[in-house]
Amino acid sequence: MIPSSVTTGVSSLNAALVAMGSYLSASVTIRRALLQQAATLATAIDTAEKTAAGALDTFAGAKMPGDTVNGLLALLTSAQDEQTLSDLRGVIGRMVLNIEITG
């Protein structure tokens, strides 16, 4: 499951971007605040990725067939979450880099 800190962070960052309007006309203070918010979100995503990867790395099959199916479904969910988090991390990481470059 993707942590609420990540989903809330993405929503908050999106709202900040919409409220800001044009990045080029934003003040340096607003750009730095946006950079800090994006960097904090990147850290939260990194932490969540490690948790999702841990779920994949520690999977152990169950003795009962029904439990095995449930375990495999949970494994699939963890893999999908890790992929989503990885995609988000790439986008947010690029955003941080772009903000740092443009100042």
Residue range 2-28, pLDDT digits in tens: 899 999 999 999 999 888 888 888 888
Mean residue pLDDT of the chain comes to 87
Q: pLDDT > 70: what percent of the chain?
A: 93
User: What's the confidence (pLDDT) of residue 13?
Assistant: 92
The pair of three-digit structure tokens given for residue 26, joined into one six-digit string = 């934003």
Residues contacting 5, CB < 8 A, separation 6+: 44, 48
User: What's the confidence (pLDDT) of residue 91?
Assistant: 94
DSSP string for 61-103: --SSHHHHHHHHHHHHHHHHHHHHHHHHHHHHHHHHHHHHHH-
Q: Which residues of the chain have pLDDT under 70?
A: 55-56, 59, 61, 103
User: What's the confidence (pLDDT) of residue 102?
Assistant: 81
Q: How many CA atoms does the CB half-sphere of 12 hold within 13 Å? A: 15
User: What's the confidence (pLDDT) of residue 56?
Assistant: 67
Nearest to 2 by CA among 72, 59, 82: 82
Chain-centroid distance, C-alpha 29: 24
